[in-house]
Amino acid sequence: MRYVIIGSGVSGVAAIEAIRSLDKTGEIVMIGDDPHGFYSRPGLAYYLTGELHDKALFPRTADDYRRMNFRYLKGRVTRIARESRCLQLDGGASLSYDRLLIAVGAQATPLESPGADLEGVLKLDHLEDAKRILKHARRGRTAVVVGGGITALELVEGFVSRGMKVHYLLRGDRYWSNVLDEQESRIVERRLQEEGVKLHHHAEVVEVIGKKSRVAGVRLLDGRSLKCDLVAYAIGIRPRVELAKQAGLAVERGILVNEFLQTNDPDIFAAGDVAQVYDPASERSVLDSLWGPARQQGYTAGLNMAGRKTAYVKSVPFNVTRLAGLTTTIIGTVGRGRDDDLVGIARGDSETWRQLPDAMIAQTGFEVNRLRLLIGEKTLLGAVVMGDQKLSFPLEKIISEKVDISPIRERLLAPNAKVGELIAEFWAGRKE
C-alpha cells in the first residue's frame, strides 16, 4: 500500500502518525513545496517579535522523522490523474498512489490594489515570508498594515518590536468586530496606541505608491496619502483548491469532504485549511483555519486512509492568542456575525464563532482582565477571556462538555454579577 500526502503542514504530519499507528510497513510519501518543510505556523508571530529563534519553530527532530519512516519529496504536484491513480510533479516525474491526502493549506488573499507587486509589499503566509519581513523591517522605517484579524495584528506587533513606526488600517469602525465586542476591541486598540501605533478606522488602500519599483507610500479611499517604506497585508485566506478542481473533485470554498475526510473520490482525502468538512452536528460543511482542528483532521484522515473508519468530530473552537500583548482565549460561539474587516476567513478563526446564538450576554472585568460569556438556555455557548487565564481551562470544559449551568444561570445574568467568581465556585463544586 502506498500512501501519498501532498503538503508538509500539521495535517500531513498528523496523518503520517495515524497511518503508522495502524500500518507499520506501508510506504508513505510526503510531497511538499515549502522549502522549510514542517514547522509551527503559530510560532511565526513570536519569530517576528524576536521572542523565538527560527530553530525553535521546528518541533520535530531528525530522529522523530526517522521513526515515522516516510519519504519526503521536495516538489510540487501539478496534476492528479484519478483514473490511473497517478500524480504529475513539476520537472516531469510521476508518482502512483493507493490512498491520497490533499493537505496543501490556504494562502493569503492577495492585495488587489495597483502597486501591490512593488518591492516592500509583504504578507505572512509561511516562514519564507517571515524571513522576508525581517529583512525589510528596520528601526526608524515606517510600515502600513492592512487587515482586521489575528495575522494583521501579528504583523503590527512584529514591526513595533523592531522599532518601526506603524500605521494600522481598519476597514470598519473597530478591531476584529465580528469576534470581539466593542469593549474588547477598544482594549486592544488602546494598548496598540500606547505602543505608538497610529490607527486609521474606515481606511482602505486604493493604491500602493512606488518610487524606483519600491514602496514609497499608500493612497487611501478618502484621498489621503501616507508615506511608508513597507506595506503588509492580512485580509483573509483562500484554500488552495486549484489541484482538486483540476482533478474534478467536489469543491465549494474548500475541498468538500464527508465526516471521514473523504472527497467524492473514495481514495482521495483532504484535511486542514484546504478542507471544507461536513459536520454532522450542524449538518453543514465548515471551513476551519485553526492549528488544533487541522491536526485532528489530519490524524482522522490518516486513520481512515489506513482502513480504520473514524468520523471526525468537530470540537468546540478553542484558540489562545495574543492581542496587543494581552493573552486572549476564545472558546465556542462568541461572534457577532458581522464581517467588517475580513475577506473570507482569518487565520486563528473559526466560522463557528460567527454564528450568533439565541443567547444573553453576561460580562465583567476591567481594563485588561475581562471575561465575556454567551449564555444559552442551559449551557454556556462561548467565552472570551482576556488577561488572567485562570478560568480558561474550566470554561473550555464547561462549554465543550455542554455542562448544565442551570444552578447558576440566574445569578450569572443578575445585574453586577461577579461572573468570574460564580464560574470559579461552580467549577470547584463540580470537581468535589
* E strand segments, 221-368: 225-227, 230-233, 237-239, 255-257, 268-270, 275-279, 284-287, 318-323, 326-332, 360-366
**Residue 414's CATH number:** 3.30.390.30
CA 317 to each of CA 48, 167, 235, 262, 372: distance values in angstroms, whole numbers, following the listed order = 26, 31, 21, 22, 16
**Does residue 66 sit in the same domain as residue 136?**
no
Q: Decide if 215 contacts 208 (C-beta within 8 A).
A: yes
Q: In tens digits, what is the pLDDT along the chain, a chain of 432 residues? A: 999 999 999 999 999 999 999 999 999 999 999 999 999 999 999 999 999 999 999 999 889 999 999 999 999 999 999 999 999 999 999 999 999 999 999 999 999 999 999 999 999 999 999 999 999 999 999 999 999 999 999 999 999 999 999 999 999 999 999 889 888 899 999 999 999 999 999 999 999 999 999 999 999 999 999 999 999 999 999 999 999 999 999 999 999 999 999 999 999 999 999 999 998 878 889 898 889 999 999 999 999 999 999 999 988 888 999 999 898 999 987 765 433 333 344 444 445 444 434 444 444 444 467 888 888 889 988 889 888 888 899 999 999 999 999 999 888 888 778 888 889 899 988 876
- 128 domain residue, yes or no: yes
Determine phi and psi for 122, rounding to 5 degrees: -130, 155
Copy the grid coordinates of residue 193: 496606541
Contacts of 366 (CB under 8 A, 6+ apart): none
Task: Look up the domain containing 258 and give its range.
Answer: 2-107+237-305
**Does residue 40 sit in the same domain as residue 147?**
no
At 68, is the secondary structure helix, strand, or coil? helix
- 313 domain residue, yes or no: no
**Does residue 74 sit in the same domain as residue 138?**
no
3-state helix, strand, coil in the chain (%, to 5): 30, 30, 40
Domain boundary among 200, 233, 266: 233
CA distance 83 to 38: 30
Closest CA relative to residue 332, chosen from 383, 387, 395? 383
CA distance 22 to 29: 16
Q: How, if at all, do strands 380-386 and 326-332 pair?
A: antiparallel
Q: Decide if 329 contacts 336 (C-beta within 8 A).
A: no
pTM value > 0.75: yes
Contacts of 66 (CB under 8 A, 6+ apart): none
Number of domains in the chain: 3
**Residue 26's CATH number:** 3.50.50.60
On the 0-12 / 13-18 / 19+ scale of CB atoms within 10 A, 389 is middle
**Does residue 322 sit in the same domain as residue 278?**
no
Query: Which DSSP symbol is given to 413?
Result: H
**Does residue 178 sit in the same domain as residue 116?**
yes
Strand partners, 5: 30, 101
**Does residue 43 sit in the same domain as residue 132?**
no
**Does residue 171 sit in the same domain as residue 87?**
no
* Residue 205 identity (one-letter amino acid): V
Sign of the dihedral defined by the CA atoms of residues 324, 328, 331, 333, in that order? negative
**Does residue 101 sit in the same domain as residue 117?**
no
Determine phi and psi for 117, rounding to 5 degrees: -95, 5
Strand partners, 78: none
Q: Decide if 101 contacts 31 (C-beta within 8 A).
A: no
CA distance 361 to 383: 10
**Does residue 229 sit in the same domain as residue 117?**
yes
CA 216 to the chain's CA centroid: 30
